């Protein structure tokens, strides 16, 4: 079955092969397992980029295929990061506390250890009590479950409320943006229980694996990220290739028609919204241990907007487009903003890319929207000679919501 | 003949404008009915009410042998109960193949999880073939429906409607934009369908209505003005005044 | 001898009589000579009282001279004079009674009175009664203010005495109020205090609360058995109910009425001091990570006499039962305290009412800010249906325009008047350019419009950062907008917020005028409702769309000037408002200006209301407000004022 599925979807096979090749090449060039041509920090950057690719796949599913422009998926991504971050921070602090208490003549009680950990973690926000949400922080299994459950539950509740009242199109986008804003405001508070704007830090240190050097850990995470991206891509490709994909594309193009076919549009949207939130959570849980720190600024609405930018530039409605867009834009962005790009002296003024990159990105985004709605992935069409239906001038692409189209024609 | 749909005393108001005014209507389980009326008579709104798109302010809408109330049900639920609707403008999923369009419409489980794990059975595929033949699209099965001509899209939509196997078909101006030969074919399909199910056709074209050879309901200002055979109705002075005589 | 004595006595008497007849002040000074020359804060009072209560007109001058160290004593006869140094270095002497120059003396013949600061303060207090009756109203006011600032029991009687003679009605009322407050605080007559308290009950002034609150101050005291009678007890604290048992026992320890517990740190230290052969009190050290094991080990040490015993739970309970913990008023009179607490309660109710009023004013001003920020959107999004995520950046551009204008025109009033039309022009041009270049190609593709305008928003924000830097730029309001309209000590609203409220009203009027009374408004409505029909009637939809979009953008620019006056002008100014602005339009009901007004009012009042519950946390207020809006949309998906029917689109 799997073979035939891959055979029917050659782009998936090509993508997975490319991903595997990429992973092997990076491994062979890394400091830990190979020639050492790629620095550890760059391996981490590449691993993070793979995670961004995974969240972009989720975004493409929900936006490119189902037409829901969610400005909340980076919030789900961040929540996943927070969930794994809680365990990482708790366990690591516990190790530190236990080793520092080991010299005491009288062995510490469990309460004393917990108090000391609380003091270490929450001292920075003037507290030492463990909030209720940290109840499972000592269990890796439970926190891993929460990585999926917390974003999923938030998406489910929010989606249930929003879709039930038939909020769609730009209204839904604005509403998801408001949700993201509310979440980041909440996390910015010191009494949110997640260390306010300090966020969680030191996540790159894996508890119990202090002996393993970061070069090796970075490769492990690269592998894990590649595996997650591969599996996520496969899942997404499987979903969109079948009847479910048919239905969600139908919802994107003409929601009312799908409803009159007897499909409960709300149920489909909710299922997809929740599923992609879970995928985003997983991507975040793999991303932030490589980044080392997570704070509420990561969740701010602008991050979700950038996610939409990646997918749009990569080419929405195509899974590989999303991955390519996320990889390309985020790598180029970090190259420009990281100060590596050479300044351009104009005589009277020097263009510093650190200052000007965002302007270029913003404007190129406008240009892509106007002139290349298929994004970078549109270039692949030139190779594959893919045919697009003649829509007689009426663009029924992902963005012209069914509602608008009908209103416009009335 | 038992009653499939009974609408009684239904009214709906848009911003003070009474689009439907104390409308009553009933149709049997296997019956063809044409609805005519001037613009703004409430034909489309009537369909909107039956399919759940518009919520009536008052009145009863009873369905089937168990007299289920359709009021308050969602559009999707009503569609699953067996009400199929064809729109004025052909609305097919242009980005998808004819085959995908038809498979989506086939009468199967509609829940997200059932659909996620759905694999077309041999029976389903055979049914798609049969439908495609019936609507003359057997050669276009793997083409994107956006590439079809306007008439072909109309056909595809009718095919999708049949694939749903509804008990009540609501058809809004099926013959618009069709060649005479295509109209002929459409008439045949609708008449054939009406043998096993209820069919309601909203149509402006009198010639087409005449060819359907069925009972006619004339709507005017949101209420039923006259009902009966076409000859009978067209002889009615009221009808002539408001509609035909214009 | 006897005659001589009698004669001497007679002479002395005549002398005294003469003195008392001609020099009463010198007389008083002589009578208290010892106190005056060796003045100290603790003993000087009778002397000052004698002078100030003498009823002599010269008393004030003498006190003032004394305070400013101008009183000298002649060494030869001990008489006191006011003295002034002359150019020659000797001193001119002034008679304390007549104030006339009576001679000169060398400095060596005189001794200066040098009252220390404590004494000088006492003199100052005594002087107050004279100042309160001074002929100059400014000095009377100054004296009153000094009493209000440093109230003391000494000021009460002079103040009270000065009220009746006060000619100035305003000052008289102020004096009376101060007298009432002093009566509450310092009068010895209980009935008078209670009457004063009753009189001030319900008064909103902070000074009243500042007077009443100390009366109700309590201290917690612990007594063995039962508290003695005669104390003005506020309440009895029952351990476990009003006060935690731990805390109650801590009080007992603090009052030395019970043996101290031994804290964990000391137990731990004791245990580690007594480790021998890997054991403490017979228990292996590695087992001591259990609290019970530690208790047993410590108990073992206690029984061996190696450690102090710590009271057990039962002992603590017994100790608590044997003592009573009470809160005692510092004010001894129960009548006064109960009157004060009643009065305070009435005041708090009144304060509550006024705080609500203040909250409403706050909400109103926040609502007008949101309305200002959203009204441009009400045009571009509400009327035209174009979703412009760069709207916030237009607000920012307006604010920066105001800043630049102020750099060129230093007069704040003129610069604001110039900035408003200029901001409109700048953002109008920007809006028209954006409509021409981008939005025009994306009509009826709202999600693509959203994304493209996001791109513009990102670029504009960064551009502003590049030009103006990341730090906040000041946009100063004209001086006549400084200050606040103060209703009472609770309710006040700054003029700038009133100005913004008025500006919001003007905008509403302008919007209504343009949409309902002008050709552009008519054409705009026609084009949005049916572009093809409008075009067929000779309206150029391109032109109308361009102008309407420019108008909405221009209004955003003007709003930016207004918002910049009270918020910091940064490149992120716009993005701080964008989500709220859209919420305002959506919650209110798209396409309806009254809806935008209602939305702004709802969001403004709601946010202030939530902030009132938890004033320190505006982040939480915003979080809850957004959650509320998400839920609100459940019930009114089309907003507060919804367009109904088919026109609204389904």
Mean pLDDT, residues B108-133 taken together: 88
- Nearest-neighbour CA in chain C from B103: distance (Å): 27
Mean pLDDT, residues A365-376 taken together: 84
B-contacting residues in A 270-289 (Cβ below 8 Å): 271
Please check whether residue A133 lies inside any domain of the structure: yes
Residue in A242, A262, A267 nearest the CB of B79: A262
Segment C124-183, tens digit of pLDDT: 777 777 777 777 888 888 888 888 887 877 778 778 878 887 888 888 888 888 888 888
Segment C529-560, tens digit of pLDDT: 777 788 888 888 888 889 989 999 999 999 99
Mean pLDDT, residues C292-318 taken together: 81
Residues in B touching A247 (Cβ below 8 Å): 104, 115
Share of chain C above pLDDT 90, in %: 10
Task: Place A152 in a pLDDT band, splitting at 50, 70 and 90.
Answer: very high
What angle (nearest 5°) sits at the alpha carbon of residue A254, between those of residues A252 and A256?
Answer: 120
Q: Is residue C199 located within the same domain as residue C278?
A: no
Residues in B touching C589 (Cβ below 8 Å): none
Flag if B53 and C645 touch (Cβ within 8 Å): no
Distance of alpha carbon B233 from the chain centroid:
22
Flag if C644 and B15 touch (Cβ within 8 Å): yes
Chains with 3 or more CB pairs under 8 A to chain A: B, C
Spatial distance between the Cα atoms of B130 and B128, rounded to a whole number of angstroms: 5
Please check whether residue C454 lies inside any domain of the structure: yes
Residues in B touching A62 (Cβ below 8 Å): none
The residue among C215, C240, C263 that closes a domain is: C215
Please check whether residue C641 lies inside any domain of the structure: no
Residue C1 scores a pLDDT above 60: no
Q: Which domain holds residue A293?
A: 2-299
Q: Is residue C493 located within the same domain as residue C363?
A: yes
Residues in A touching B105 (Cβ below 8 Å): 261
Please check whether residue C615 lies inside any domain of the structure: no
In this complex, is the C-beta atom of A8 within 8 Å of any C-beta atom belonging to chain C?
no
Q: Which helix (H) or strand (E) holds B174?
A: none
**Closest to A389 (Cα-Cα) out of B115, B100, B172:** B100
Q: Is residue C290 located within the same domain as residue C357?
A: no
Q: Which helix (H) or strand (E) holds C218?
A: strand C218-224
Residue C163's pLDDT is 82
Please check whether residue C75 lies inside any domain of the structure: yes
Q: In what order do the strands lie in the sheet with C218-224?
A: C218-224, C323-329, C233-237
Segment A222-268, tens digit of pLDDT: 999 999 999 999 999 999 988 999 999 999 888 888 988 889 999 99
In this complex, is the C-beta atom of C649 within 8 Å of any C-beta atom belonging to chain B?
no
In this complex, is the C-beta atom of A238 within 8 Å of any C-beta atom belonging to chain B?
no
Q: Looking at the domain covering B32-51+78-244, what would its CATH class be?
A: alpha beta
Interface test with A, best of B76, B142, B171 (most A CBs within 10 A): B76
Overall number of domains in chain C = 4
Q: Is residue C386 located within the same domain as residue C294?
A: no
Chains with 3 or more CB pairs under 8 A to chain C: A, B
Flag if A256 and B105 touch (Cβ within 8 Å): no
Segment B31-60, tens digit of pLDDT: 899 988 877 778 888 888 888 888 888 888
- Nearest-neighbour CA in chain A from B99: distance (Å): 11
Q: Is residue C432 located within the same domain as residue C531?
A: yes
Spatial distance between the Cα atoms of B91 and C501, rounded to a whole number of angstroms: 50
Please check whether residue A120 lies inside any domain of the structure: yes
Chains with 3 or more CB pairs under 8 A to chain B: A, C
Work out the angle between the directed axes of helices C24-31 and C45-52 (0-180°, nearest 10): 170
Distance of alpha carbon B163 from the chain centroid:
13
Flag if C646 and B14 touch (Cβ within 8 Å): yes
Residue A30 scores a pLDDT above 70: yes
Q: Is residue C269 located within the same domain as residue C301?
A: yes
Q: Which domain holds residue C280?
A: 218-334
- In chain B, the residue whose alpha carbon lies closest to the alpha carbon of A243 is B115
* Number of residues written out for chain B: 246
In this complex, is the C-beta atom of A308 within 8 Å of any C-beta atom belonging to chain C?
yes
Segment B193-229, tens digit of pLDDT: 888 889 999 887 778 888 888 888 888 888 888 888 8
Residues in C touching A72 (Cβ below 8 Å): none
Q: pTM of the predicted model, to two decimals?
A: 0.81
Please check whether residue A87 lies inside any domain of the structure: yes
Mean pLDDT, residues C227-243 taken together: 81
Burial zone of B225 (CB within 10 Å; 0-12 exposed, 13-18 middle, 19+ buried): buried
Report DSSP letters for A355-379, one per residue. Answer: HHHHHHHHHHHHHHHHH-TT-TTHH
Please check whether residue C457 lies inside any domain of the structure: yes
Please check whether residue A30 lies inside any domain of the structure: yes
Phi/psi of residue A370, each to 5°? -80, -45
Q: Is residue C439 located within the same domain as residue C516?
A: yes
Q: Is residue C291 located within the same domain as residue C436?
A: no
Residues in B touching C643 (Cβ below 8 Å): 15
Q: Is residue C494 located within the same domain as residue C558?
A: yes
In this complex, is the C-beta atom of B15 within 8 Å of any C-beta atom belonging to chain C?
yes
In A165-198, which ranges are continuous DSSP H helix?
A: 169-188
Please check whether residue C624 lies inside any domain of the structure: no
Report DSSP letters for A2-16, one per residue. Answer: HHHHHHH-HHHHHHH
In this complex, is the C-beta atom of A362 within 8 Å of any C-beta atom belonging to chain C?
yes
Spatial distance between the Cα atoms of C495 and C505, rounded to a whole number of angstroms: 15
Overall number of domains in chain A = 1
Residue A353 scores a pLDDT above 50: yes
Spatial distance between the Cα atoms of B55 and B19, rounded to a whole number of angstroms: 12
Mean pLDDT, residues A298-314 taken together: 88
Spatial distance between the Cα atoms of C552 and C537, rounded to a whole number of angstroms: 24
B:C CB pairs within 8 Å: 10
Q: Is residue C442 located within the same domain as residue C496?
A: yes
Residue C186's pLDDT is 83
Spatial distance between the Cα atoms of B75 and C166, rounded to a whole number of angstroms: 84
| CATH number of C407's domain | 1.10.3470
The residue among C557, C577, C597 that closes a domain is: C597
Residue C645 scores a pLDDT above 50: no
Residue A4's pLDDT is 66
Flag if B74 and A264 touch (Cβ within 8 Å): yes
Spatial distance between the Cα atoms of A261 and A245, rounded to a whole number of angstroms: 15
Task: Place C424 in a pLDDT band, splitting at 50, 70 and 90.
Answer: very high
């Amino acid at each position: 079955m799997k073979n035939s599925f891959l055979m029917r979807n050659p782009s998936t096979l090509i993508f997975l092969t490319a991903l595997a090749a990429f992973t092997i090449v990076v491994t062979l060039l890394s400091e830990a397992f190979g020639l050492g041509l790629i620095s550890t920090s760059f391996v981490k950057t590449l691993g993070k980029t793979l995670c961004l690719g995974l969240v972009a796949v989720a975004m493409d599913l929900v936006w490119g295929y189902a037409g829901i422009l969610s400005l909340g998926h980076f919030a789900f991504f961040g929540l996943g990061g927070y969930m794994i971050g809680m365990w990482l921070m708790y366990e690591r602090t516990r190790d530190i506390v236990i080793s520092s208490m080991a010299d005491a003549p009288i062995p510490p009680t469990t309460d004393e250890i917990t108090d000391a950990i609380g003091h270490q973690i929450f001292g920075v926000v003037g507290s030492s009590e463990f909030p209720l949400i940290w109840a499972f922080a000592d269990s890796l299994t439970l926190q891993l479950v929460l990585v999926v459950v917390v974003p999923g539950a938030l998406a489910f509740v929010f989606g249930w409320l929003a879709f039930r009242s038939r909020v769609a199109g730009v209204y839904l986008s604005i509403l998801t943006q408001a949700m993201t804003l509310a979440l980041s405001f909440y996390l910015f508070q010191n009494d949110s229980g997640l260390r306010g704007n300090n966020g969680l830090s030191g996540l790159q240190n894996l508890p119990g694996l202090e002996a393993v050097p970061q070069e090796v850990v970075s490769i492990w995470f690269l592998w894990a990220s590649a595996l997650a991206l591969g599996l996520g891509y496969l899942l997404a490709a499987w979903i969109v290739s079948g009847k479910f994909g048919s239905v969600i594309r139908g919802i994107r193009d003409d929601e009312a028609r799908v409803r009159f076919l007897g499909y409960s549009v709300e149920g489909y949207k909710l299922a997809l919204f929740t599923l992609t939130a879970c995928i985003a959570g997983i991507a975040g849980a793999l991303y932030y241990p490589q980044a080392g720190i997570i704070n509420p600024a990561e969740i701010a609405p602008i991050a979700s907007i950038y996610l939409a930018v990646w997918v749009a530039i990569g080419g929405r409605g195509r899974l590989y487009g999303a991955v390519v867009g996320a990889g390309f834009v985020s790598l180029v962005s970090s190259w420009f903003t990281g100060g590596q790009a050479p300044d351009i002296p104009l005589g009277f003024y020097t263009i510093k890319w650190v200052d000007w990159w965002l302007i270029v990105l913003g404007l190129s985004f406008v240009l892509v929207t106007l002139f290349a709605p298929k994004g970078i992935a549109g270039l692949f069409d030139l190779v594959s000679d893919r045919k697009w239906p003649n829509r007689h001038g009426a663009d029924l692409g992902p963005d012209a919501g069914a509602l608008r189209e009908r209103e416009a024609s009335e | 003949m038992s009653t499939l749909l009974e609408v009684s005393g239904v009214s709906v108001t848009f911003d003070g404008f009474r689009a439907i005014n104390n409308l009553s209507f009933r149709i049997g389980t296997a019956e063809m009915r044409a609805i005519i009326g001037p613009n703004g008579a409430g034909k489309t709104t009537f369909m909107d009410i039956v399919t759940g798109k518009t919520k009536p302010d008052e009145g009863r809408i009873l369905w089937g042998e168990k007299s289920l109330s359709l009021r308050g049900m969602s559009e999707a639920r009503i569609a699953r109960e067996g009400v199929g609707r064809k729109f004025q403008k052909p609305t097919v999923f242009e980005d998808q193949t004819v085959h995908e369009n038809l498979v989506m419409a086939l009468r199967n489980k509609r829940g997200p999880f059932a659909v996620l794990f759905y694999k077309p059975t041999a029976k389903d595929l055979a049914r798609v073939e049969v439908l495609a033949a019936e609507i003359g699209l057997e050669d276009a099965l793997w083409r994107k429906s956006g590439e079809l001509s306007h008439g072909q899209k109309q056909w595809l939509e009718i095919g999708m409607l049949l694939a749903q196997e509804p008990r009540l078909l609501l058809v809004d101006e099926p013959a618009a934009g069709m060649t005479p030969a295509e109209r002929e074919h459409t008439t045949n399909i609708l008449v054939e369908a009406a043998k096993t199910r209820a069919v309601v056709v909203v149509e402006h074209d009198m010639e087409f209505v005449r060819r359907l050879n069925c009972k006619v309901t004339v709507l005017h200002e949101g209420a039923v003005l006259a009902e009966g055979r076409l000859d009978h109705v067209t002889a009615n002075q009221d009808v002539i005044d408001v509609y035909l005589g214009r | 001898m006897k005659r001589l004595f009698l004669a001497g006595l007679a002479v002395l008497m005549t002398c005294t009589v003469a003195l008392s007849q001609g020099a009463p002040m010198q007389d008083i000074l002589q009578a208290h000579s010892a106190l005056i020359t060796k003045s100290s804060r603790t003993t000087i009072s009778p002397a000052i009282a004698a002078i100030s209560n003498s009823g002599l007109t010269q008393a004030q001058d003498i006190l003032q001279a004394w305070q400013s160290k101008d009183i000298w004593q002649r060494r030869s006869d001990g008489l006191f004079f006011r003295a002034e140094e002359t150019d020659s270095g000797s001193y001119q002497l002034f008679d304390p009674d007549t104030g006339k120059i009576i001679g000169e003396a060398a400095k060596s013949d005189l001794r200066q009175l040098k009252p220390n600061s404590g004494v000088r303060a006492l003199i100052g207090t005594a002087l107050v009664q004279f100042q309160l009756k001074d002929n100059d109203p400014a000095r009377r006011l100054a004296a009153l203010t000094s009493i209000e600032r440093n109230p003391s029991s000494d000021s009460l009687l002079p103040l009270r005495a000065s009220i009746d003679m006060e000619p100035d009605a305003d000052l008289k009322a102020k004096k009376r109020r101060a007298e009432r407050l002093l009566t509450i605080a310092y009068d010895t007559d209980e009935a008078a205090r209670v009457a004063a308290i009753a009189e001030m009950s319900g008064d909103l002034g902070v000074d009243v609360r500042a007077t009443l609150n100390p009366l109700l101050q309590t201290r917690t005291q612990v007594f063995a058995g039962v508290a003695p009678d005669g104390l003005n007890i506020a309440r009895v604290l029952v351990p476990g109910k009003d006060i935690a048992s731990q805390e109650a026992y801590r009080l007992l320890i603090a009052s030395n009425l019970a043996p101290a517990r031994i804290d964990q740190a000391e137990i731990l230290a004791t245990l580690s001091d007594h480790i021998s052969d890997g054991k403490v009190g017979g228990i292996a050290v590695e087992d001591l990570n259990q609290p019970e094991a530690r208790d047993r080990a410590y108990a073992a040490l206690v029984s061996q006499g190696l450690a102090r015993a710590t009271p057990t739970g039962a002992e603590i309970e017994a100790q608590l039962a044997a003592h009573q913990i009470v809160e005692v008023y510092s004010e001894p009179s129960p009548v006064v305290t109960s009157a004060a607490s009643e009065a305070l309660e009435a005041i708090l109710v009144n304060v509550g009412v006024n705080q609500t009023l203040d909250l409403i004013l706050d909400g109103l001003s926040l609502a007008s800010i949101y309305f200002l920020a959203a009204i441009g959107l009400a045009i571009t999004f509400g009327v035209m249906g174009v979703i412009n995520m760069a709207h916030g950046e237009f607000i920012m551009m307006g604010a920066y325009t105001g800043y630049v204008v102020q750099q060129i025109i230093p007069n704040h009033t003129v610069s604001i008047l110039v900035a408003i039309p200029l901001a409109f022009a700048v953002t109008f041009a920007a809006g028209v350019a954006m409509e021409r270049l981008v939005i025009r190609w994306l009509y009826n593709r709202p999600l693509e419009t959203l994304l493209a305008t996001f791109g513009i928003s990102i670029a504009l924000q960064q551009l502003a950062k590049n030009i103006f830097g990341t730090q906040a730029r000041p946009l100063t309001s004209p001086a006549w907008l400084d200050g606040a309209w103060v209703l009472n000590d609770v309710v006040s609203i700054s003029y700038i917020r009133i100005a913004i409220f008025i500006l919001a009203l003007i905008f509403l009027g302008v919007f209504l005028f343009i949409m309902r009374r002008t050709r552009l408004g008519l054409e705009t409505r026609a084009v949005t409702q049916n572009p093809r029909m409008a075009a067929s009637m000779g309206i150029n939809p391109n032109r109308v769309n361009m102008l309407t979009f420019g108008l909405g953008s221009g209004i955003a620019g003007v709003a930016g000037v207004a918002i910049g006056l009270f918020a910091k002008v940064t490149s992120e100014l716009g993005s701080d408002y964008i989500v709220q602005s859209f919420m305002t339009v959506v919650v209110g009901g798209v396409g309806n200006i009254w809806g935008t007004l209602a939305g702004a009012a709802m969001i403004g009042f709601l946010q202030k209301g939530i902030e009132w519950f938890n004033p320190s946390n505006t982040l939480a207020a915003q979080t809850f407000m957004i959650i509320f809006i998400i839920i609100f949309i459940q019930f009114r998906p089309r907003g507060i004022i919804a367009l109904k029917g088919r026109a609204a689109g389904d």
